[in-house]
Amino acid sequence: MKFFLDTASLKDISWAAQAGLIDGVTTNPTLLAKQAGDLDPRDVLKEICSLVEGPVSAEVVALDTDGMVREGSELAKIADNIVVKIPMTEAGMVAVRRLATDGMKTNVTLCFSSVQCLIAAKAGATYVSPFIGRLDDVGQEGMDVIREARVIFDNYQLATEILAASIRHPRHVVEAAMIGADVATLPADVLKKLLLHPLTDRGLEQFLADWNQRVARAKAAV
Ligand code: G3P
């Protein structure tokens, strides 16, 4: 399973990339607006693309097909690893088809049902992003979308990758991985939590205490 970092924070992306923990990055207008402030968002995206070798999703804000294709084509010029993020709408699906025909990679975002994922795959999306956490928030089982999409994509050998998005905690990652999602995009705090277990800390503390005791005993015996 590939891990993407779901952020536009240069600090977090540098950390995760240097630690070798991520295979790519996803951004959205909310995340980019937070990071960019007064800067040109294109410059922020350019910097992100230089920090990671893998795909970097950048979202269009136009709502009509022509606008999305125009914006997507401009975004794709920023760097070779840009993936154009397109919302799951009728206009969006026409844009995905056109961008794919022109050789651009796309990530269909704001998917909340497996049939939306199927539509996006049929349009030629490189990735589909079902939003797990936001479904859980409204009392639905977000992981069901991943489960159904996996079966459907396997039934028809669809090459579109399932990108589990809106991940809120490590259990989401485990479940998505067990189902066979191709990618999970994680906020930095969730990625950090994947490394942690209290028994690891306790075990390490015990190993060092035992070792230091042995060293002290050996010193005292001299
Ligand atoms: O980037 C899309 C998605 O991962 C957003 O997550 O936490 O805002 O629902 P969240």
How far apart are the CA of 207 and the centre of ligand 1, in A? 39
* 219 has catalytic annotation: no
Q: Is residue 69 part of a domain?
A: yes
- Number of folded domains that form the chain: 1
How far apart are the CA of 133 and the centre of ligand 1, in A? 8
Residue 203 confidence (pLDDT) above 90: yes
For 151-175, the pLDDT digits (tens) are: 999 999 999 999 999 999 999 999 9
Q: Is residue 114 part of a domain?
A: yes
Residue 164, both tokens: 């589990």
- Which residue's CA is the nearest one to ligand 1's atom 3? 166
For 2, 8, 146, the CA distances from 113, given in Å and listed in that order, are 22, 26, 9
Cα–Cα distance measured from residue 77 to residue 162, given in angstroms and rounded to the nearest whole number: 25
Confidence of residue 182 (pLDDT cuts 50, 70, 90): very high
For 47-66, the pLDDT digits (tens) are: 999 999 999 999 999 999 99
Q: Is residue 101 part of a domain?
A: yes
Q: Is residue 154 part of a domain?
A: yes
Q: Is residue 143 part of a domain?
A: yes
Average pLDDT, the chain: 97
Q: Is residue 127 part of a domain?
A: yes
Please pick, among 77, 85, 192, 219, the residue that the annotation labels catalytic.
85
pTM of the model: 0.95
For 51, counting Cβ atoms within 10 Å of its Cβ (0-12 exposed, 13-18 middle, 19+ buried), the class is middle
Burial 95-109 (b: 16+ CB within 10 A, else e): bbbbbbeeebbbbbb
Please name the residue ranges forming H helices in 77-197: 90-101, 114-123, 132-137, 142-155, 170-179, 188-194
For 69-121, the pLDDT digits (tens) are: 999 999 999 999 999 999 999 999 999 999 999 999 999 999 999 999 999 99
* CA 14 to the chain's CA centroid: 15
Q: Which domain holds residue 45?
A: 2-196
Greatest C-alpha distance within the chain:
82
Q: Is residue 206 part of a domain?
A: no
How far apart are the CA of 217 and the centre of ligand 1, in A? 54
- Reduce the DSSP state of residue 52 to 3 states and report it: coil
Q: Is residue 39 part of a domain?
A: yes
CATH number of 137's domain? 3.20.20.70
